[in-house]
Amino acid sequence: MTRKISRTLVATVAACLLAFASVGHARAVDESPSALAMTGDALLIRPVLLATTIVGGAVYLVSLPFSLLGGNAEEAGEVLVMGPAKATFVRCLGCTQSGKKPETVEQTGN
């Protein structure tokens, strides 16, 4: 019974890692998400991405000796930890692209 649960958990974690690992770099986002998109993002998507970041960190730590031997520890850290972390903490609420919303800068007349 425990073996079946652990296999299911490992399969779920692997699916989450594959689904959320490829995230774009942070850049300015020009989106205007709706209230429904923001609510769904805050209640559903962000907790899943946070869990993916935590699980990715654990997988990174377990695979670190092998990554160091293979010479791709930095790549593994970027894909397993930094990608999901950027999607979780850098993306604006309700936006579909990673990045920060541009700040409005107003010029004053001389």
Query: 60 is in which domain, residue-wise?
Result: 2-23+33-89
Counted domains in the chain? 1
| pLDDT at res. 98 | 72
* Domain assignment of residue 109, yes or no: no
* Domain assignment of residue 62, yes or no: yes
HSE-up of 4 (CA within 13 Å, CB side)? Answer: 1
* Domain assignment of residue 108, yes or no: no
* Domain assignment of residue 28, yes or no: no
d(C-alpha 68, C-alpha 78), whole Å: 14
* Domain assignment of residue 96, yes or no: no
Residue 103 has pLDDT above 70, yes or no: no
One-letter amino acid at 37 equals A
* Domain assignment of residue 44, yes or no: yes
Query: pLDDT per residue over 28-75, tens digit each?
Result: 556 688 899 889 999 999 999 999 999 999 999 999 999 999 999 999
Residue 22 has pLDDT above 70, yes or no: no
